[in-house]
């Protein structure tokens, strides 16, 4: 006998009616925000055009290969028939192994309804079959331009990920339960939060990833003690307070990326590379880059070099009396460091850098990975037009683009939790840093994209000219230490490897485990990920890895051994610990300083709205 279904009471009907009215009001408000953002910029329009061209090229390649289309369609038809048969067996109460399962590590379908409820199980199976079909179809398109195929793979993956049943309230079991429990309140409040996030985004949608109110820079994040001892229009130079009685004679200068704030290297005391370096006896200086706005539109790569590491070296000489430094650089900061060392070499000042370390750094841009999707000629022209119009690239646009490279983890998961389930994100320092973006000056960023990513001119002898000086990475005799990470999707390790083949001086290349952040910020006490070493530098990255030896734990102690064993930090020539303000430079303010606290809304507060100009 079927259980009796109780009709909803009058109170239930009235409650749901009120909630539906609230959902309608929030939906209208959301549509108003979306309509205001309907006109794309030159950059967004160029990406849309590239997407259309990529799908067109894929369709043309498929038309030239009819057997592939027939093969894929036949397999899909067979899969659909098997799925129908499984459905009948499930309805009969039979246990049936799924026809296709999510990949290991795919957290979208962890709810038991996807395996226990026949309806959701069927939805999941249909989606996974569709996803597999698209992936295999594109993978077997052999008669396409490699760059165009790479773009097609990226755009198709975005489409398939967006169509996941987890992204829709009616096909997500967790969202449906929450909606029934709260009478739709989760959708009302979720849409309101979506409207707020859209208003705080530049282009695309910057989802809220963490409870930003839980962190304050200088209080519970970026807290290693120190002082700002020098500043100019572009940088503040932080000198950290020593924690040892004696320090190495040669100071250490960290050149972080300016695409994000420096404190990824100083999140907490237990995972801070800055603190660890101080505790090893280094006199640590660090560049804190300014968050630029329209007023800094004309800053060039040469300006970043001169006002960044070169002026910082001059300030360090005033603070310590030392004429040379050990450079440690990260990501685009490493690309600048390589440019700087090459420039100093060409101007006969190469001895100002005793050693240079490149963390996850591209110098040879022959294979930039998925970032190359955004750097085809039409897309780059759109970006250049946007840079010319605004004078800067809004850091939130760049963050949105990077998040799409891990769309299910860094976009859709937050979309579901924030806007469909209305779950508040938990405090997480790494995600706080990830959403604390910086703008990029037009004069620097456009030049960097075209000369480095598009034309790969940094590896050409004399291909880059800085302040009238043609530079050549092959002339660098400064000892170099390269640390890259195996799963890096920003600076692919097998691309960074080719940068290690350029200098004529001694080079050590090390490969860490994990990705762009976790593989670099890997404190020894965690004993995680491991790393590979190889004393040889063969012609290809694959050959290097074949002959490499794996080690447990963090690469940090290996780096410390390298810099001390070679005398770049001389353990036999220690000096009394240097306090900020002891030399010729006075303390300007306590670390972390003003520049790192500058947010994008604050920087752009006085800037006109581009949509109104």
- pLDDT per position as a tens digit, 498-541: 999 999 999 999 999 999 999 999 999 999 999 999 999 999 99
Q: Among the ranges 382-391, 404-413, 583-592, which has the highest mean pLDDT value? A: 583-592
Nearest residue to 371 (alpha-carbon basis) of 439, 433, 448? 448
Active site members: 331
Q: At what angle do helices 66-91 and 42-63 cross, to 10 degrees?
A: 90
Say if residue 169's pLDDT is above 50: yes
Structure tokens at 245: 């009685």
| Banded model confidence at residue 329, pLDDT cuts 50, 70, 90 | very high
Q: pLDDT tens digit string along 561-588?
A: 999 999 999 999 999 999 999 999 999 9
Decide if pLDDT at 1 tops 70: no
Residue 152 clears pLDDT 70, i.e. is over it = yes
Q: Contact at 8 Å (CB) between 397 and 202?
A: yes
User: What is the per-residue pLDDT for 127?
Assistant: 93
**Is 89 a residue whose pLDDT tops 90?**
no
For residue 177, the cross-strand partners are none
496 or 21, greater pLDDT: 496
Q: What is the pLDDT of residue 3?
A: 46
Name the pLDDT band for 77 (thresholds 50, 70, 90).
Answer: confident
Quick one: pLDDT at residue 586?
96
Q: What is the pLDDT of residues 430-471, one digit of tens each?
A: 999 999 999 999 999 999 999 999 999 999 999 999 999 999
Instruction: Report the pLDDT value the prediction gives residue 16, as an integer from 0 to 100.
Output: 61
> Residues of the chain with pLDDT > 70: what percent?
92
pLDDT value, residue 314: 98
Task: Please give the mean pLDDT across all residues of the chain.
Answer: 90
How would DSSP label each residue in 263-276? GGGSSSTTT-HHHH
Nearest 5°: the CA angle 581, 587, 592 is 115
pLDDT band at residue 84 using 50, 70 and 90 as cut-offs: confident
Provide the total of helices (H) and of strands (E) in the chain, helices listed first: 22, 17
- 105 — pLDDT class (breaks 50, 70, 90): confident
Q: pLDDT category, 81, cuts 50, 70, 90?
A: confident
Evaluate if residue 297 carries a pLDDT over 90.
yes
* Least trusted range by pLDDT, from 24-33, 214-223, 243-252, 547-556: 24-33
Residue 51 has pLDDT above 70, yes or no: yes
Strand-pairing partners, residue 288, are: 236
* Residue 324, pLDDT above cutoff 70: yes
Rounded to an integer, the average pLDDT of 87-94 is 76
Helices 118-139 and 146-162, axial angle in degrees (round to 10) = 170
CB count within 10 Å of CB 79 equals 19
Give exposure, 432-464, as e/b (b: 16+ Cβ within 10 Å). bbbbbbbbbbbbbbbbbbbbbbbebebbeeeeb
User: Can you give the pLDDT at residue 5?
Assistant: 46
Give the pLDDT band (50/70/90) at residue 91. Answer: confident
Q: Among residues 362, 373, 450, which one has the least CA distance to residue 407?
A: 373
pLDDT band at 143 (very low <50, low <70, confident <90, very high): confident
List Cβ<8 Å contacts ≥24 apart for 185-189: 185/19, 185/422, 186/420, 186/421, 186/422, 187/23, 187/26, 187/420, 187/422, 188/19, 188/22, 188/23, 188/26, 189/422
Q: Is residue 594's pLDDT more than 60?
A: yes
Using pLDDT thresholds of 50, 70 and 90, give the confidence band for residue 612: very low
Between CA 511 and CA 430 the distance in angstroms is 22
Q: How many CA atoms lie within 13 A of 511 on its CB side?
A: 25
For position 20, what pLDDT does the model report? 66
pLDDT at 156 over 60: yes
pLDDT of amino acid 390: 92
pLDDT beyond 80 at 34: no
**Whether the model pTM is above 0.85:** yes
What proportion of the chain, given as a percentage, has pLDDT over 90? 70
């Amino acid at each position: 006998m079927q259980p009796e279904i109780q009709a909803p009471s009058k109170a239930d009907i009235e409650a749901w009616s009120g909630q539906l009215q609230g959902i309608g009001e929030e939906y209208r408000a959301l549509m108003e925000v979306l309509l205001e953002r309907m006109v794309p910029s030159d950059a967004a329009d160029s990406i849309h055009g590239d997407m259309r061209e990529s799908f067109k090229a894929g369709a043309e390649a498929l038309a030239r290969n009819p057997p592939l289309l027939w093969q894929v369609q036949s397999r899909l038809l067979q899969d659909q028939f098997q799925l129908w048969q499984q459905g009948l067996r499930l309805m009969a109460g039979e246990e049936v192994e799924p026809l296709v399962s999510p990949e290991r590590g795919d957290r979208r379908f962890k709810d038991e309804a996807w395996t226990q409820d026949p309806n959701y199980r069927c939805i999941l199976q249909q989606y996974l079959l569709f996803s597999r079909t698209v992936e295999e179809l594109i993978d077997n398109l052999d008669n396409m331009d490699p760059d165009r195929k790479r773009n097609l793979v990226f755009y198709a993956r975005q489409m398939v990920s967006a169509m996941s049943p987890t992204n829709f309230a009616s096909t997500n079991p967790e969202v449906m339960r929450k909606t029934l429990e709260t009478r739709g309140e989760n959708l009302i409040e979720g849409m309101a939060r979506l409207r707020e996030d859209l208003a705080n985004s530049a282009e695309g949608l910057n989802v809220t990833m963490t409870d930003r109110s839980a962190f304050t820079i200088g209080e519970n994040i970026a807290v290693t003690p120190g002082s700002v001892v020098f500043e100019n229009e572009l940088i503040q130079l932080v000198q950290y307070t020593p924690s040892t009685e004696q320090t190495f004679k040669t100071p250490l200068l960290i050149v972080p990326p300016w695409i994000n704030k420096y404190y990824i290297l100083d999140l907490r005391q237990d995972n801070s590379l800055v603190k660890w370096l101080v505790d090893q006896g280094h006199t640590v200086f660090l560049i804190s880059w300014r968050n630029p706005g329209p007023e800094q539109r004309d800053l060039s790569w040469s300006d970043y070099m001169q006002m960044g590491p070169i002026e910082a070296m001059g300030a360090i000489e005033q603070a310590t009396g030392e004429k040379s430094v050990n450079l440690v650089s990260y990501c685009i900061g490493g690309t600048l460091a390589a440019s700087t060392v090459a420039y100093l070499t060409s101007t006969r000042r190469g001895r100002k850098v005793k050693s240079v370390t490149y963390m996850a750094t591209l110098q040879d841009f022959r294979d930039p990975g998925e970032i190359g999707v955004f750097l085809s000629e039409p897309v780059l022209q759109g970006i250049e037009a946007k840079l010319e119009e605004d004078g800067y690239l809004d850091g939130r646009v760049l963050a949105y683009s990077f998040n799409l490279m891990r769309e299910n983890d860094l976009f859709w998961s937050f979309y579901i939790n924030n806007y469909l389930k209305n779950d508040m994100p938990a405090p997480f320092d790494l995600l706080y840093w990830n959403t604390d973006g910086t703008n990029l000056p037009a004069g620097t960023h456009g030049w960097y994209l075209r000369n480095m990513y598009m034309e790969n001119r940094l590896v050409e002898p004399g291909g880059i000219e800085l302040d009238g000086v043609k530079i050549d990475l092959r002339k660098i005799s400064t000892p170099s230490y390269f640390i890259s990470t195996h799963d890096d999707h920003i600076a692919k390790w097998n691309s960074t490897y080719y940068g290690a083949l350029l200098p004529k001086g001694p080079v050590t290349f090390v490969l860490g485990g994990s990705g762009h952040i976790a593989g670099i910020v890997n404190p020894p006490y965690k004993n995680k990920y491991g790393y590979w070493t190889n004393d040889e530098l063969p012609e290809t990255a694959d050959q290097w890895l074949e002959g490499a030896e794996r080690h447990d734990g963090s690469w940090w102690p290996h780096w410390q051994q390298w810099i001390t064993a070679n005398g770049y930090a001389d353990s036999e020539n220690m000096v009394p610990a240097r306090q900020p303000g002891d030399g010729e430079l006075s303390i300007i303010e306590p670390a972390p300083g003003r520049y790192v606290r500058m947010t994008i809304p604050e920087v752009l507060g006085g800037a006109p709205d581009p949509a109104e100009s």
